Chains A and B, each alone.
Chain A
Amino acid sequence: MTRLVGAELFKLRTTRTFYGVTGGAIALVVLITVLAAALGDFKHEEHALRGAASIAGLSEVFALVLGILAVTTEFRHGTITPTLLAVPGRTRLVLAKLGAALLAGLALGLACVGLGLGLAAAIFSARGVDTGATSSDVVAFIVGGAVSAALNAALGVGIGALVRNQVGAVIGVLVWGFVLEPLIGIIPGLEDVVPKYGLGGVSNAVAGTGDSGNSLGQLPAGLVLAGYCAIFLAVGIALMRRRDISA
Chain B
Amino acid sequence: MATIEVHGITKHFGDVHAVEDLSFDVERGHVVGFLGPNGAGKTTTLRMVLGLVNPTAGAATIDGRAYEELDDPARTVGALLDGGMLHPGRTGRNHLRAIAKSAGIDEGRVAELLELVALTDAADRRAGGYSLGMRQRLGLAASLLGDPSVLVLDEPANGLDPQGIRWLRDFLRRLASEGRAVLVSSHVLAEISQIADEVIVINHGRSVAQAPLAELIARGGGGMRVAGPDVGRLREILEADGATVAGEGDIVVRDRTGEQIGRLIAQHQVVVSELAPVGSSLEEVFFELTGATGGPS
Contact of B89 among A16, A83, A242 (CB under 8 A): A16
> Distance (Å) between the CB of A113 and the closest chain B CB?
28
> Distance (Å) between the CB of B255 and the closest chain A CB?
44
Binding-face segment, A7-15, A41-49, A52-60, A130-138: A7-15
Establish whether residues A7 and B101, one from each chain, have CB atoms under 8 Å apart when the complex forms: yes
Establish whether residues A11 and B54, one from each chain, have CB atoms under 8 Å apart when the complex forms: no
Chain B, 64-94, contact with A by CB distance < 8 Å: what is the 0/1 string? 0001101001100101010111111111001
Binding-face segment, A86-94, A143-151, A211-219, A227-235: A86-94
- A residues less than 8 Å from B86 (CB atoms): 77-79
What residue of chain A has the Cβ atom nearest to residue B104's Cβ?
Answer: A3
A4 at interface, CB cutoff 8 A:
yes
Establish whether residues B47 and A245, one from each chain, have CB atoms under 8 Å apart when the complex forms: yes
Chain B, 87-113, contact with A by CB distance < 8 Å: what is the 0/1 string? 111110011011101111000000000
Establish whether residues B101 and A10, one from each chain, have CB atoms under 8 Å apart when the complex forms: yes
- B residues less than 8 Å from A244 (CB atoms): 13, 47, 52-54
In the complex with contacts A88-B51, A244-B52, A245-B47, A82-B85 CB distance below 8 A: yes
Residues of chain B having any CB pair with chain A under 8 Å:
13, 43-44, 47, 50-54, 67-68, 70, 73-74, 77, 79, 81, 83-91, 94-95, 97-99, 101-104, 139, 142
- B residues less than 8 Å from A86 (CB atoms): 73-74, 99, 102-103
A247 at interface, CB cutoff 8 A:
yes
Contact of A7 among B68, B84, B95, B102 (CB under 8 A): B102
- A residues less than 8 Å from B67 (CB atoms): 88
Contact of A77 among B47, B77, B87, B104 (CB under 8 A): B87
Contact of A83 among B44, B88, B102 (CB under 8 A): B102
Query: What are 27 contact pairs spanning A and B, CB under 8 A?
Result: A3-B101, A3-B102, A10-B98, A11-B98, A14-B90, A14-B98, A15-B90, A16-B89, A73-B87, A77-B84, A77-B86, A78-B85, A78-B86, A79-B85, A79-B95, A81-B52, A81-B81, A86-B74, A86-B99, A87-B103, A88-B70, A89-B68, A244-B13, A244-B53, A244-B54, A246-B44, A246-B52
A6 at interface, CB cutoff 8 A:
yes
- A residues less than 8 Å from B47 (CB atoms): 244-246
Cα distance A4–B68 in the bound complex, in angstroms: 16
Q: Within residues 24 to 64 of chain A, which ones have a CB less than 8 A from any CB in chain B?
A: none
Establish whether residues B83 and A81, one from each chain, have CB atoms under 8 Å apart when the complex forms: yes
- A residues less than 8 Å from B54 (CB atoms): 242, 244
Cα distance A204–B290 in the bound complex, in angstroms: 64
Cα distance A244–B139 in the bound complex, in angstroms: 21
What residue of chain B has the Cβ atom nearest to residue A17's Cβ?
Answer: B89
> Distance (Å) between the CB of B112 and the closest chain A CB?
18
Establish whether residues A84 and B87, one from each chain, have CB atoms under 8 Å apart when the complex forms: no
